[in-house]
Amino acid sequence: MARRLVVTPITYERRGSCAVVTICRPERRNAVDGPTADALENAYATWLADDLAKVMILTGEGPDAFCAGADLKALDTLAPRIQAEGGPLGFTRRIAPKPTIAAIEGWCLAGGFELALWCDLRISTETSKFGFTERRFGVPLIDGGTQRLPRVVGLGRALDLILTGRIIDADEAGSIGLTTETVAPGQALTRALELGEAIAAFPWDTLVADRESTLEAQGVALADGLISEALRGAPTVVTGLEGAQRFSSGEGRHGSSIPPSAG
């Protein structure tokens, strides 16, 4: 049964194996003020405690915007969160222990762009646009953008977007590897849920171990990363052997258990 928890101005709804966290301020292009950031952090804590929600999907209400970043008309409400453990916009300084997907419709700007980068995967629509537009106002990137964007698209492309503040469209976002898939308008959440369920259906201990090793590898030497990967993967060997036996018996041939792309 779906679990729905309304934490104004955020909604938390469990749909199958996914928790859908929605920013509900369409009148402000889902920009985040202090109460919204607090609610995001509460929703994140709810997801961590929800054992049935293996994947979190972050999205914004309405077709116009995923999130336009910090609400510049309510910066005073965000000031107390600047040094918050979870980050100014809720949970951006936390490392999620489970997979996360951003379902992006419309504008994805400034701190909203940083929220999308916090996620492992990003599903956008053909009309989505991305950019660090706070560059023109001198607002710093303090929700992880300077750290995560280079890890996603590489240093050169990250510096281009960070230094110029230019806005890119969905085609360019896909071409530089910023987004995982591009779908028709109105279909981002549907596709994210489909992908989330497919991910949740895989053998879980192995998937989580591989995800952790991949994320950790971004900040360590290769030799150290290989050791960490081996240590983390060893306890899941039994799962792998069981899976290999199922494959040898005919399960999953020709990629039948791999989630198809949207394209």
pLDDT tens digit sequence for 32-56: 999 999 999 999 999 999 999 999 9
Share of the chain above pLDDT 70, in %: 87
Q: How far apart are CA 217 and CA 82, in angstroms?
A: 28
Of residues 117, 175, 111, the one with CA closest to residue 137:
111
- Structure confidence at residue 253 as a pLDDT band (50, 70, 90): low
Q: How far apart are CA 222 and CA 202, in angstroms?
A: 27
Backbone angles phi, psi at 242, to 5 degrees: -65, -40
pLDDT of residue 237: 60
Burial class of residue 99 (count of CB atoms within 10 Å of its CB; 0-12, 13-18, 19+): buried
> Residue 1 above 90 pLDDT?
no
Matching residue, tokens 């997907």: 101
* Omega prior to 9 cis, within 30 of 0: yes
Lowest mean pLDDT among 8-17, 136-145, 198-207, 227-236: 227-236
Please list the residues that pair with 130 across neighbouring strands.
108, 168
> Residue 83 above 80 pLDDT?
yes
Calculate the CA 108 to chain-centre distance.
Answer: 12
Of residues 73, 91, 69, the one with CA closest to residue 140:
69
Query: Residues 41, 61, 105, 134: which is the catalytic one?
Result: 134
> Residue 204 above 90 pLDDT?
yes
Query: Residues 27, 114, 172, 212: which is the catalytic one?
Result: 114
Q: Is 119 helix (H, G, I), strand (E, B) or coil?
A: coil
Q: Which fold has domain 3-200?
A: 2-enoyl-CoA Hydratase; Chain A, domain 1 (3.90.226)
Cβ-contact 67, 32 below 8 angstroms = yes
Q: How far apart are CA 193 and CA 141, in angstroms?
A: 29
Mean pLDDT of 123-134: 96
pLDDT of residue 79: 84
pLDDT of residue 43: 96
Give yes or no: 134 in active site. yes
Cβ-contact 103, 61 below 8 angstroms = no
Contacts of 171 (CB under 8 A, 6+ apart): 182
Give yes or no: 114 in active site. yes
Cβ-contact 47, 21 below 8 angstroms = yes
pTM listed for this prediction: 0.84
